A and B are shown apart, each in its own frame.
Chain A
């Protein structure tokens, strides 16, 4: 179902004109109302009048995560606090959280974006949406909640955790749409299977807030009777609802009449060619609280301009394949945790539960990957388990270009993520 056909199926030329008008307005609002941006524009030698068309976006300076920290808590707001009706925040791993604000109009934009997201996955007013993202400062829970109401669906505000109750309500209320992290959906699947619960009313799962892979999608769709849809967003931009896969499951439609995407080379800041991989950058064209200008997400993706069979005309971003900042440097070689995940997922029957441990012995970096042994994988002969271990190590070596140590661990020893699964433990800094 296309929630807003007029916006989502707009012809490309019309869309670019609209984006140009909105960008020009956003640049003006940023310059006039946010001292931080006025200073930044001035230093960069750009004036709001220079921004007339969407092509002018490259003239603007970037905004980074550090800028949020430096202006904490409300320094990026372009409106007085009396117009802000909500704040949300993302947990900073160190120090202060990243704070974002919403005006009434922003909440409306956000709800609309999530309603479109739900529509992308086939959701409609008849559906029952169970929101198992955390409620609170995290944007996941409340974002999906308001979007679900905007769509007209029946919303169950379960929040995260309490898996037994989640499963009970899914059964009793006939949940058709499930929104949670992909790793949590596997936990629900595990417990439902263990209790012999039938969840066949499920139709679509809206999964995001942590990196996952195509193979993990296969696992989820194998264990739960639903289509697993990748959704994307970040609180700095709006929260979830920035982009979503449609039922084609081939790239995420960016709701680019509100959130303008670019792909740049993370080292030079220059745009890359069409279809090429690089760092994803967003400009909030319509958000009133903060007209966020060219925000560097540090997520690695690419943009596909080809038309989609679903009729939506927006460009599609590729599933996030890594973070420019969680790149690990192991003995001088760049390693992305996503590569490790890919290798593991491609080996049949390996449960998608693993932890990466980076350590140092002497001067040398050591990369250890702990993999859970499922019953499919288990053999009661040592040499077969050793062979499995060597096979994983061999494939890691050929893909990553560095040798790794593979450790097989008992099932369920690796914590199941309720939020962003912590898959990398870097012990090198502690020494």
Chain B
């Protein structure tokens, strides 16, 4: 049920993001979702891609600092209050979210939210008990 996310260390300099996007684009890697956490000096680029291994190799070869992080992709009804419902369940079960970001599925009426949890196992149990749909890595990469 876990999805592999690529995390890339980036200096906060003009054009860094474009370089990485071009690198992946030229290698035929498709970016499914992304989020950028930044401070005044550096940023952490988080990517969900269709081909993790290939993307990892390309980025490493270009000298970037890259790591893989386990994240959870949750399907959330794409209507007002949809996300709130999921988050309330997590809150009630005392599940801590390190960070999260979302994108909208093309094919269905759902949104997909990527979660990084402090305690992934526990979070998965809570989501399952609440009947919230957790997407597999295959599903996410084929979205």
Give chain A's interface residues, CB within 8 Å of chain B.
Answer: 373-375, 378-382, 385-386, 407-413
Contacts and interface: CB of A to CB of B under 8 A. Distances in A.
Contacts of A413: 11
A299 B116 CA distance: 51
Interface stretch (B65-73, B84-92, B107-115): B65-73
B18 interface: no
B46 A380 contact: yes
Contact of A378 (B46, B65, B99): B65
- Which has the most chain A C-beta neighbours within 10 Å: B7, B44, B63? B44
- Which has the most chain A C-beta neighbours within 10 Å: B5, B9, B99? B9
A381 B65 contact: no
Contact of B11 (A375, A385, A409): A409
Interface string B10-34: 1100000000000000000000000
Interface residues of B, number: 21
Given A380-B67, A410-B63, A411-B65, A373 B9 contact: yes
A54 B66 CA distance: 60
Contacts of A385: 42, 44
A374 B9 CA distance: 9
A408 B39 CA distance: 11
19 contacts: A373-B9, A375-B65, A379-B67, A380-B44, A380-B46, A380-B69, A381-B98, A381-B99, A382-B39, A385-B42, A407-B41, A407-B42, A408-B11, A410-B11, A410-B63, A410-B64, A411-B63, A411-B64, A412-B63
Contacts of A378: 7, 9, 65, 67
A112 B10 CA distance: 51
Query: Which 5 A-B pairs rank lowest in CB-CB distance, beginning with the nearest?
Result: A380-B7, A412-B63, A378-B65, A380-B69, A382-B37
Nearest to A374: B65
Nearest to A407: B41
B41 A410 contact: no
Nearest to A408: B42
Nearest to B60: A375
A28 to B, nearest CB: 59
Contacts of A409: 11, 42
B66 A375 contact: yes
A386 B38 CA distance: 11
Contacts of A381: 44, 98-99, 116
A415 to B, nearest CB: 13
A413 B9 CA distance: 13
A344 B65 CA distance: 19
Contacts of B7: 378, 380
B122 to A, nearest CB: 18
A186 to B, nearest CB: 15
- Which has the most chain B C-beta neighbours within 10 Å: A379, A380, A413? A380
Contacts of A373: 9, 42, 65
B65 A410 contact: yes
A430 B67 CA distance: 40
